[in-house]
Amino acid sequence: MEHRLDPWLILAVVGLLGASLPTLHSVSRVVGTNLLLRQLMWGIAGLVILWLMSRVRVDIYERAAPFLYAIGLVVLVAVLVFGVARGGNRAWIALGPVTVQPSEFARLSTILLTAAWVASRGARNLRIYQAAVTATIVA
């Protein structure tokens, strides 16, 4: 089966990136850093990752969701033990010269698990309170 990206999704991502670049350009001139170039590089990297992730079959994501969610919980607990302070909060883990924020991975794994749960139940079979509870948990 051919995997295709939704053109509206690509348009939304490119539109948000394009709208943010002029603002970052004006801020980076004042601050003295090149936020514009960094944001553009991360935006392009994100589009490449989006394309690569779209090549994976959906059933693989559905099977991996509980495992990825468990990893997300483990890395959140790891912040309590191995966390380092950056920007005034202790929400980062240092991996050599790189620091990562595990809450971002946990957020994505929660969304993936919720999507897998909804898919397994069938969107038509969800009651309104189940959808509301699910949305509240993800939020």
Give pLDDT, residue 91.
87
**pLDDT confidence bin for 31, thresholds 50/70/90:** low
Q: Which residue has the tokens 């993936």?
A: 112
**pTM of the predicted protein model:** 0.72
For 116-122, which contacts have Cβ atoms below 8 Å and span 24 or more sequence positions?
116/61, 116/62, 116/65, 116/66, 117/65, 119/58, 119/62, 120/62
Task: Strands of the chain (E only): list them.
Answer: 83-86, 89-95, 98-100
Give pLDDT, residue 33.
65
Give pLDDT, residue 15.
93
43-53 tens-digit pLDDT: 999 999 999 98
64-92 tens-digit pLDDT: 999 999 999 999 999 999 888 887 888 88
